Chain A
C-alpha cells in the first residue's frame, strides 16, 4: 500500500499538473515548494508514519471527538 501511495503521488506531481481544476492546481503548488529530489524521501517518511496512524484510526469510533475546539465567543486578540 505504501508503495502504491508513493507512486501515485509522484505521478500526480510530475505528470498531471497540466490539467485544469482546483485539485491539480494545489498539487502544483506543493510541487513548486518541494523539489523532486526531496519529495521522494519526504513522502517515504510520511507514508511510514501514515501506516502507523491509519492502523490506529481504523479503530476509532465514528463519534470520536476532535481534540481541538472552536469557541465562537472567544475574544479576538488586540
Chain B
C-alpha cells in the first residue's frame, strides 16, 4: 500500500492510523531480528501518537497527505528524548534535547514516528555493515547488502515496516539503498531540505531526503520536508522534455542487465512524449575525485574532536578519517575550485537537456562482505564501484532520483537514476511517477 492509498483508506474510515501503526510494528517485530533495519523502535509513543491523530481526523482536523502515516527516521536525525546514535559508538548514548527541523516538519505534517533506522557507521560508507549495531540485510536476499548508508531506511520501506523513511546522501547514501532494495529514493537539490539537527558528514555535500515505495510517495514526503516555493513546478506534459542518455562514462563499467533496463526505461519515456537525445557528459571521473577529496577533508574536520578515541571507530570509517586528516588544505581548496568549473560544464550540458537518465548503481546488491567485483574481466573495489554513478551529483547539488526499473536474473532490483537541474526536483519526480505506472494495453 502506498501513502496515497493509505491516506484514502484513512479518510474513508476503512482503517485507522493506530491500525496502520500496529501493522508496521508487527512487521518490525517479525522481520527486524533477521534484517536489522531498526536500531530503536518507539512502539508506545507511536501508538499513542497514532490514536491522537485518529482523534484529530475524526474531529475534522486533517494535516495533509502524511496525516496518520507511520514513518521512520534515519538514526542520525535528532529526535527529542529518543537516542540518536548515528550508528556510532561515539554517539551511542546521545539523547537530543530537540528535534531536527526535518523531524519536526514531518511530525507537524501528521506522521507517526515508529523508530530510528540503522545505518553505516556515521553515514560514512555504503555497506550498512555496522560493527556496533550489527549488519543490515537486504530483504530480497539476506545474504546480500541493502546498500547504505541509509540501509535501514531502504529495508524498512521495502518490507512495509514503514511507509516512508528519511535518509541522508553525501555520496549516494539514499540512491544506493533505494537501488539495492528496490524502492524509490530522492536526493533533493542541495540545500532544499533544512539540515539543522542532522549529524553532518560532508559539510558541503550532505543532502537530506526521503525513501518510499514510489516516486509519488516521495513527492508527498518532499512537500512535507521542504518549502515548495523553492521548487519549480513539474511540466504539464512531457512533450517538451529532452532526456539525455549518456554515451560516455555511465554505461562503461556496468552489469549488462542494468544497461538494458535503463535503456528500456528511456524508451518508455519516449512513449510518454519525451525526446531522448544522446549526450556526452563532462569529466565525471574528475568530479568523483573532487567529491571524494572534499568528503575526506570535511568528514575529518567534523569528527576531528573524536579522533583520539580510535578504538571506538570501525576499521573502515577510521581509515577514511585518517585519510581525510592527511589531505593538504591547498588540495581541498583546489578540489572546491575544480568542482565549480565542472558545475559550469554540467550547467552547459543541461541547457541542451532537461534531465539525464543513468543507472543509479552499476551493479546490483553485492553479497555482504564482498570487497571486489569482476566486470568484463576487470576487478573493481566494490565500494568505489557502487558510488561511481551517484557521487558526482552530490558535488553538483543537482536533484537525483532513484526508482526501480527492473530486476537481475537473480531477482535483485535495478535502479534508474533521473537527474534534473537544481530546484527541478518536481520534474524528476513527475517522470518517475509516470514511469512507475503500469504500461497501458
User: Chain A: residues with CB nearer than 8 A to chain B?
Assistant: 9, 30, 32-35, 38-39, 41-43, 45-46, 49-50, 52-54, 56-57, 60-61, 64-68, 77
Contacts and interface: CB of A to CB of B under 8 A. Distances in A.
B14 interface: no
Contacts, number: 86
Interface residues of B, number: 32
Given A53-B289, A56-B286, A33 B308 contact: yes
A43 B310 CA distance: 17
Interface of B: 196, 204, 283, 285-286, 289-290, 292-293, 296, 307-308, 310, 318-319, 322-323, 325-328, 331, 333-341, 343
Main secondary structure of the interface of B (DSSP, over half): helix
A64 B338 contact: yes
Contacts of B326: 9, 30, 34, 42-43, 46
**Which 9 pairs, one residue from A and one from B, show the smallest C-beta to C-beta distance?**
A42-B322, A67-B340, A57-B334, A67-B336, A67-B339, A64-B337, A52-B289, A46-B326, A42-B323
Given A30-B326, A53-B290, A60-B338, 11 more contacts: A33-B308, A33-B325, A38-B322, A42-B323, A49-B293, A49-B323, A50-B327, A52-B285, A53-B289, A57-B338, A60-B334
A65 B333 CA distance: 10
Nearest to B339: A67
Main secondary structure of the interface of A (DSSP, over half): helix
Contact of A66 (B327, B328, B337): B337
A47 B105 CA distance: 43
Contacts of B290: 53, 56
Contacts of B336: 66-68
A5 B84 CA distance: 41
